Amino acid sequence: MDESQAPVAANAPAQLQADRPGRRPIQHINVDIYRDTFLRYMGYSNEVGEAFRPLVPKAIVAASYGMAIGYVCTDTFDKSLREQMSGASRRDVLIAAGDVFSWQMLASVIIPGLVINRITAGSKMLLRRSPTILLKTLPTVIGLASIPLIVHPIDGLVDRFMDATFRKMVR
């Protein structure tokens, strides 16, 4: 793209846009990097740990939970800091922090961790008469393959739950 085709901000003064004929306005898109990008999967590191539970020491599974909770805390800090910098009241900052922390813990750690744990354990139980190599590896493969399938349904469930509980109480 040459300079004459470079976009100009949609909210730029009319004179600026008039001085740059042939340029298209920029569409501003609000992207939440913690929920709308690949970074969202960092919150699912504990699910990877759960899927690998039959193959790795418990300390590795515990460390995967530490990574997921670190992701949750980072998102909570980011959202509450943005709220504070926008001039929000202390109450609104605390509400935003509580909302993000609760949503992320439910949608990224607690519910998916339980789901993958049960999928992996159920797979292991169904395969209990299989050769040892299958009994150890196949539940992990099934658990890992399940992760992308559970993300959006759990996110939607947690959104509805938060709307009906926490968000209704604090607003």
Is pLDDT at 26 greater than 50 in this prediction?
A: yes
Mean pLDDT of the region 22-48: 77
pLDDT for position 55? 92
Q: Which amino acid is at 24?
A: R
Whether the Cβ atoms of residue 29 and residue 10 lie closer than 8 Å to each other: no
Residue 6 is predicted with a pLDDT of 41
**What's the rounded mean pLDDT across residues 133-147?**
93
Task: For residue 113, give the nearest of 164, 77, 69, 165 by alpha carbon.
Answer: 69
pLDDT of residue 40: 76
> What integer pLDDT is reported at residue 29 of this predicted model?
64
Categorize the per-residue pLDDT at 171 as very low, low, confident or very high, splitting at 50, 70 and 90: confident
The full DSSP string for 109-121 is IIHHHHHHHHHHH
Q: What is the pLDDT of residues 79-88, one digit of tens each?
A: 999 999 999 9
Confidence of residue 135 (pLDDT cuts 50, 70, 90): confident
Query: For all residues of the chain together, what is the average pLDDT?
Result: 86
pLDDT at 23: 60
d(CA 95, CA 41) in angstroms, rounded, equals: 25
pLDDT in tens, 54-86: 899 999 999 999 999 999 999 999 999 999 999
Taking 3-state DSSP, the helix, strand and coil percentages for the chain, each rounded to the nearest 5, stand at: 75, 0, 25
Q: Residue 9: helix, strand or coil by DSSP?
A: strand
